[in-house]
Structure 1
Amino acid sequence: MNKFLFLLVLIYTPSVFSLEIVGVKNAQLQDLYLYKGSRLKVYPEEGVLISVEGKANKQVKLQIKTNGVVYLTPGVRIENLQPKQKIITLNKYGEGEFTIGFSLLGEKNISGKHSKRIKYQVNYLDDD
């Protein structure tokens, strides 16, 4: 029985302290109407919310990478994709949230396939 408990603790322990994204909540854009040249600013509080879990009281850094021009839909380009804070400290339960804001710019309709090429990664600021 003791061997089983030891094995269970050994398997469970690394997963408790690993840093992982546990949820992503997208912005709720109401009545979205953009035309060529119009702009809509989405503040971080209204934008994307990324929830993370990891080691308690550790600092975590968010890195966002975009490849080329990013479109929300044909004719609506995403610009200035920025988190409110790039570095946060997880709470005593090991939980934290990043809030991300952006601007939407209306363009003339563009034909062809559009994909969202946004990559994000979270890492501990100091690994020890």
Structure 2
Amino acid sequence: MNIAILKLAAASALLSAASGAMAGANSGIIHFVGSIVEPPCSTSSVERGQINIHCEQRSAFDVTFQRIGADAGLSKTTVTLTRDGKPLGDKEASAYRMALQGNAQLGLSVKNAAADADTRPVIMTISYL
């Protein structure tokens, strides 16, 4: 009978030591390397050169556009970026930096001086900073 009691006492001691080791694993230092990536803004309803953007918190981003096609460098085509219907700047530019919070609408319009001229596509890119 003494052997059974000794075995039970040894098992209890081992279980107690294992529980103590696991409790010690709840403390320490964790080193994190990398980044948590989540877009700060959401976009919806892209139609006819307009894109709706919603940012919960104030967010900064770059908006760039690039003309595509053979006549991309010709001055007869004018590209205008608008924010909430208002043109951004009085000169054509290919990049803008802005920040917003809440709702906004960005628009990109392409106009050509000649009525029969081919207006090639324009690519708009939004990059979060």
Instruction: Report the TM-score range of the alignment, normalised by the length of the smaller protein.
Output: 0.3 to 0.5
Q: TM-score, normalised by structure 2?
A: 0.43
TM-score, structure 1 as length reference: 0.43
Q: Which has the greater radius of gyration? A: 2
